[in-house]
């Protein structure tokens, strides 16, 4: 599941490694650390492999880690946030199509690439790409739909925290929109689309996502390991730079056809101001 750190099932792993030790086999943590380094993300993997050999890191927000009352509250808040975007979809029915497209693009990017990093995984989120192509309301609803789709198809157990993970995506996007994003769409005062502005939006967004993950971990029943969370957040730095490049390239290429029928109807490219 996106945005939350992958949990190591402590009791099961401890039991498995004890059994292996009794059988004279090498524990799994040691096996992992002595495997040949993979070509992708070698430096990051080596660093976290060394850390993982010393101790287990329980950092995944799984069912049971956040108490049911807080999960219920998070689900209620997530539904309320989605509800605030529904009028925009109802007023303009084409936004319903955009929301579906946003969910599809988000899901494809999420499943296209992920790299295990210590207690977590790095994912492409595609938030800025989705936001600039489809606008705020379709993106917000699209994130929730995308998470629902991915959970239903791949990890049904994570649907318990659908609200938690939806808020981790939606609230940072709201912050981006209110600070920098809406100027890219506003008539008369629109900032011109540029790589620097895309990079700024991505930086703010990923900072928000990291803060949300930290918040969920702090209110969870698992101990909050600040250093582990900090390393995970730092590992996302090259990812947001990569996503900014993907967004800038995608929008720059697509702007050539922004007045074409389908793109004009189903994207927000026509509202962006280009140099």
Give the residue-averaged pLDDT of 17-40: 49
- Give the H or E element holding residue 16: helix 10-22
Q: Could you tell me where the beta strands, DSSP code E, fall in the chain?
A: 114-117, 120-123, 192-193, 273-274
Is a pLDDT exceeding 90 seen at residue 81?
A: yes
How far apart, in whole angstroms, are the C-alpha atoms of residue 241 and residue 195? 10
> Mean pLDDT: which of 13-22, 85-94, 146-155, 185-194 is highest?
85-94
Residue 8 confidence (pLDDT)? 36
SS3 for 222?
A: coil
How far apart, in whole angstroms, are the C-alpha atoms of residue 136 and residue 177? 7
Return the structure tokens found at 240: 């947001």
Give the residue-averaged pLDDT of 2-19: 46
Return the structure tokens found at 192: 């011109």
Counting Cα atoms < 13 Å in the Cβ hemisphere of 180 gives: 19
> Helices 195-218 and 127-134: crossing angle, nearest 10°?
120
Residue 204 confidence (pLDDT)? 92
Torsion of CA 63, 68, 72, 73, to 10 degrees: -110
Question: With pLDDT > 90 as the criterion, what percentage of the chain qualifies?
Answer: 41
Residue 256 confidence (pLDDT)? 86
Q: Pairing between strand 192-193 and 273-274? A: parallel
Give the residue-averaged pLDDT of 198-208: 92
Q: Pairing between strand 114-117 and 120-123? A: antiparallel
> What is the tens place of the pLDDT at every residue in 220-261?
776 666 777 787 788 778 888 899 999 999 999 998 888 788
How far apart, in whole angstroms, are the C-alpha atoms of residue 164 and residue 246? 27
First to last CA, the chain: 38
Give the residue-averaged pLDDT of 140-148: 95
Give the residue-averaged pLDDT of 194-213: 91
Beta bridge partners of residue 114, listed in sequence order: 123
Set out the domains of the chain in order of their start, with CATH numbers: 10-274 (1.10.1760.20)
Residue 20 confidence (pLDDT)? 52
Confidence of residue 57 (pLDDT cuts 50, 70, 90): very low
How far apart, in whole angstroms, are the C-alpha atoms of residue 186 and residue 272? 8
> What is the tens place of the pLDDT at every residue in 114-138?
776 554 567 788 999 999 999 999 9
């Amino acid at each position: 599941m996106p945005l939350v750190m992958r949990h190591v099932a402590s009791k099961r792993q401890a039991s498995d490694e004890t059994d292996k030790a009794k059988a004279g086999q090498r524990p799994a943590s040691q096996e992992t650390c002595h495997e040949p380094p993979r070509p992708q993300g070698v430096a990051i993997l080596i660093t976290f492999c060394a850390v993982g050999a010393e101790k287990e890191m329980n950092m995944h927000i799984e069912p049971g880690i956040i108490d049911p009352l807080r999960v219920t509250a998070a689900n209620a808040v997530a539904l309320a946030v989605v509800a605030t975007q529904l009028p925009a979809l109802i007023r303009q029915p084409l936004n319903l199509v955009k929301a579906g497209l946003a969910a599809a693009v988000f899901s494809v990017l999420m499943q296209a690439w992920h790299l295990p990093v210590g207690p977590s995984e790095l994912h492409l989120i595609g938030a800025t790409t989705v936001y600039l192509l489809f606008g705020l309301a379709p993106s917000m609803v699209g994130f929730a739909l995308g998470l629902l789709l991915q959970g239903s198809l791949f990890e049904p157990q994570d649907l318990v925290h659908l609200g938690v993970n939806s808020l981790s995506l939606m609230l940072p996007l709201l912050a981006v929109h209110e600070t920098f994003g809406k100027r890219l769409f506003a008539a008369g005062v629109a900032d011109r689309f540029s790589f620097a502005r895309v990079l700024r939006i991505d930086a703010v967004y990923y900072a928000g996502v990291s803060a949300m993950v930290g918040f969920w971990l702090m209110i969870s029943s698992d101990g909050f390991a600040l250093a582990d969370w900090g390393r995970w957040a730092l590992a996302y730095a090259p990812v947001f730079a990569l996503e900014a490049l993907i967004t800038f390239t995608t929008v720059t290429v697509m702007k050539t056809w922004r007045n074409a029928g389908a793109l004009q109807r189903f994207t927000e490219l026509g509202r962006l101001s280009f140099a």
